[in-house]
Each structure stands twice: as C-alpha cells, then as structure tokens.
Amino acid sequence: MSSDIDELDAKILNLMQADASLPLNELAEKVASSRSAVWRRVQKLTEAGVIKKHTILLDAPKAGLGVLVFAQVKMHAHSRDSLPNFIEKVRNFPEVIECHTLMGNIDFIVKIRVRDVQAYEEFFWNRLSQIEGVREISSSIALTAVKDTTELQVMPTG
C-alpha cells in the first residue's frame, strides 16, 4: 500500500511498534483521540496491509538461539528454475529468519539464527549448501548487536 499515513496514523503505528500490548484505551489516550477512532484506524491500517501482524519479540540467546549468522550466497546461474528453487527451499528452513535478493555480486543475503556454531555447521553442510544451483556461500557470525530493532520510524506521508 502506498497509502497516505497522516499524523494520527503515524503516532498510532509508532506506539504500537514500541508496545503492541497497549490496551486500546491507553493507546487512544496517548494519541489524544477516541477509542473508536483509534480502533477504526488500526482496522484500516491492518486491512491495507500496513500492519502485517501482531506478534511478540523473543530474546534469541535467552530462547536458546545464541548464534546469528549472515550468509552471502552466490548462485551458479540465473536459470528459470534455480532462483525460485532456492527461494522455496530457504522459506522452509526455520533457521532462516530473513532472506533478501540483492543487486550486484551477491545473489542473496540470508539471516540465520541457530543454537551454536555446531548447529550452523550442520545447517550449512546438510541443507543450505545442498540447494541446487548454489555456487558459493560466505558466512559471517555476528559478535555484538550494535542496534537490533524491528521498529520503523513512521512519518506522515500526506
């Protein structure tokens, strides 16, 4: 949606990103609007796809997933089947939390969360590198998260 997000929508979205568990009454109070107006706005933003889902965020190391890996993947060739096949396989790996196609020398960047280095090694050798068409994988293990957020700074567009 290339929707027009006004100032009230932006306030609502920014507050909901910071704490999706805010009761509707409290959210309305914080944006200085009525409960019903805020409810309608949230419904409109959800129906338009601006709000994809309501979820919780876990502390990955405390949940037993202490290793974050960024894998840069180069494919052999960009045949009609190789890229869609890679995408389909990666979407089904629970260890993969993000995958993006890139312009330039790298075809994909894959963000992977695993228990430990041994778990990544097993994933690398037995699954990721076994996808047909993969030519090269360069993996980097993240040491420290300098910034780690899911919050987008929403500004009015209209």
What does the pLDDT look like over 31-78, one tens digit per residue? 999 999 999 999 999 999 999 999 999 999 999 999 999 999 999 976
Tell me the average pLDDT of the chain: 94
Number of domains in the chain: 2
Domain assignment of residue 134, yes or no: yes
What token pair was written down for 117? 């280095």
Gap between the Cα atoms of 13 and 5, Å rounded: 10
CA dihedral 50, 108, 70, 119 (to 10 degrees): 110
Model pLDDT, residue 2: 55
Confidence of residue 79 (pLDDT cuts 50, 70, 90): low
Number of helices followed by number of strands (H, E) in the chain? 5, 4
Gap between the Cα atoms of 117 and 127, Å rounded: 15
Same domain, 121 and 76: yes
CATH number at residue 90: 3.30.70.920
Please write the tens of the pLDDT for every residue from 95-122. 999 999 999 999 999 999 999 999 999 9
pLDDT at 128 over 80: yes
Same domain, 131 and 80: yes
Domain that holds residue 113: 67-141
Same domain, 84 and 134: yes
Domain assignment of residue 56, yes or no: no
Same domain, 95 and 34: no
The pTM assigned to this predicted structure is: 0.88
Same domain, 31 and 84: no
CA dihedral 126, 131, 132, 138 (to 10 degrees): -90
